[in-house]
């Protein structure tokens, strides 16, 4: 690991550690996906909590595997449709706590466990923070394969630049845990994330998009090399 990668990894661990403060005994926890969440799972698994009394609802097969490896109790959203707290990472966070997620392709289930939770805590290192979401990171749009070209046209009409996500260890597109494909779509300007989230989801064939407007976010924990900032919605 290079020095910079090591520093980022350490920031991810620190943000994950801070998130443990929001966990309480016997909670139903939604667990996001990605490398920052992996740190959270490891810390939770070795914490003083009675982890056999905490039920974790995973947002991806990857997270489910991690939870099992760390001896956590895994439940389904159908068993526990109300989640006390969801903890998840992010690809970008703006100054108003609007978020882009889905770099790991788990956005659909991540959005569901975020919406089902009483509280959503986002954990990031400082490299994810931006002033504006527009132009900072493409919005992943999960689409049923049948509608791929139709949705592409609609995204182009919205001034987006859609690109089919290609798998790195298989031929062809990345296929999500739900059997769909992803159009990573760069938008130079996102003036109102809440309205824009709805516009994208209204395109027939779109299952979900990776814009998580701040109405869904309770707080964001940002780790820098020197400190931890807990940003609350104002």
Residues involved in catalysis: 110
Q: Does 136 bind ligand 5RP (CB under 6 A)?
A: no
Cα 113-182-55 angle, rounded to 5 deg: 20
CA 28 vs CA 62, 74, 79, 95, 183: distances in Å: 19, 10, 11, 29, 32
Q: What are phi and psi of 157, to 5 degrees?
A: -65, -25
Rank residues 150 and 186 by Cβ distance to ligand 5RP and give the closer one: 186
DSSP one-letter string for 37-84:
HHHHHHHHHTSSS-GGG-EEEESSHHHHHHHHHTT-EE--TTT--SEE
Least Å distance between CB 96 and ligand 5RP?
19
**Block residue for tokens 């869904």:** 216
Rank residues 84 and 125 by Cβ distance to ligand 5RP and give the closer one: 125
Q: Does 138 bind ligand 5RP (CB under 6 A)?
A: no
User: Which range touches ligand 5RP (CB under 6 A), out of 14-22, 33-41, 42-50, 179-187?
Assistant: 33-41
Among 84, 91, 94, 142, binds ligand 5RP (CB under 6 A): 91
Binding mask 95-114 for ligand 5RP (x = CB under 6 A): ------xxxxxxx--x----
Contact 89, 100 (CB under 8 A): no
Q: Does 142 bind ligand 5RP (CB under 6 A)?
A: no
Least Å distance between CB 197 and ligand 5RP?
15
Q: Does 90 bind ligand 5RP (CB under 6 A)?
A: yes
Q: Does 89 bind ligand 5RP (CB under 6 A)?
A: yes
Contacts of 39 (CB under 8 A, 6+ apart): 9, 12, 13, 15, 16, 17
Interface residues toward ligand 5RP, by CB under 6 A: 32-36, 88-91, 101-107, 110
């Amino acid at each position: 690991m290079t020095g910079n990668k090591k520093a980022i990894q350490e920031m991810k661990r620190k943000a994950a550690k801070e998130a443990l403060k929001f966990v309480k005994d016997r909670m139903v926890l939604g667990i996001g996906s990605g490398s920052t969440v992996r740190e959270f799972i490891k810390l939770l698994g070795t914490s003083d909590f009675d982890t056999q009394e905490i039920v974790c609802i995973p947002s991806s097969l990857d997270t489910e595997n991690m939870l099992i490896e760390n001896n956590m109790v895994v439940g389904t959203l159908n068993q526990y449709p109300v989640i006390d707290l969801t903890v998840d990472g992010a690809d970008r966070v703006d100054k108003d706590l609007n978020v882009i997620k889905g770099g790991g392709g788990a956005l659909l289930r991540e959005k569901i466990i975020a919406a089902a939770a009483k509280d959503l805590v986002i954990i990031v290192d400082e490299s994810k923070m931006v002033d504006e979401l527009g132009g900072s990171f493409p919005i992943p749009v999960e689409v049923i394969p049948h509608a791929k070209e139709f949705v592409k046209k609609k995204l182009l009409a919205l001034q987006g630049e859609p690109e089919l996500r290609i798998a790195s260890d298989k031929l062809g597109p990345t296929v999500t845990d739900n059997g769909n494909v992803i159009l990573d779509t760069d938008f130079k300007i996102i003036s109102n994330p809440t309205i824009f989230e709805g516009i994208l989801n209204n395109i027939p064939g779109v299952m979900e998009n990776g814009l998580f407007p701040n109405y869904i976010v309770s707080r964001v924990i940002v780790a820098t090399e020197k400190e931890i900032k807990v940003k609350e919605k104002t």
